[in-house]
Amino acid sequence: MSINYIVDHIPKTTPCNRRPGPAMTATTITIHNTGNPSSSSRNERAWLTNSANDRTASYHIVIDERDAIECLPLNEAAWHAGDGSGTKSGNRTSIGIEICESGNYAKTLDNAADLVAGMLRARGWGVDRLRRHYDWSGKICPRLMYDGGKWTGWEAFKAMVSSKMKKAEETEMKPKGEQKMETVEVRVDGKKLADGLYDDKAGVTYVPVRAVAEALGADVKWDGKAKKVDIDKKK
């Protein structure tokens, strides 16, 4: 992932209980839009500790076209899902990611898909672990993924994440470099002997030792027990 990932947790003493503190073992990742078309990730991080902010709301990560900022530890609960504090609530079981709406939104969305794909892969999860804010509390959020009664943008985002996960998996499975062996002609004093093999990856040519050595007037002895070849010049 090329985006700049910053860990900048808000203090435990932040007002309005915005860092509630309960430990969390996340089972899903919840996607939001910030709802502010002019705010960056750094602005959103600053909002959490702004003295004028009187809301009890928080999130784990906020992301824009340049940065992703981790505002709360991913193993702590946050107030982002709007469904209370029950043990099975989104607030207590899901990592909340806010996607900024300002600047180059297409780039921000691509960054978010990269981030989420990496998080899912790191946990051994699939896109079935993704949730909308809407899934927890019915709020139309992430709002920019909602289109006239349909969640077309949401489905497109999940498809983007899935594609990035598949691409990363294929890259991991792809051999670092495939060995290619080519047949080469071996000659001694202009006389053709048995063919050899050239390994283009290693830059090494393999030739039949006995054929070459004997053509040069040497004796060849193979010691199978010691796994060695002795070549002695004939006197």
Domains along the sequence of the chain with CATH: 4-173 (3.40.80.10), 181-233 (no CATH)
**Residue 113 confidence (pLDDT) above 90:** yes
CA distance 57 to 68: 18
Question: Looking at residue 100, what is its pLDDT?
Answer: 98
For strands 67-70 and 61-63, give the pairing.
antiparallel
pLDDT in tens, 76-98: 999 999 999 999 999 999 999 99
Average of per-residue pLDDT across 163-187: 79
Nearest 5°: the CA angle 15, 101, 8 is 40
pLDDT in tens, 35-82: 999 999 999 999 999 999 999 999 999 999 999 999 999 999 999 999
**Cβ(95)–Cβ(29) under 8 Å?**
yes
**pTM, full prediction:** 0.74
**Residue 198 confidence (pLDDT) above 60:** yes
Question: Looking at residue 175, what is its pLDDT?
Answer: 65
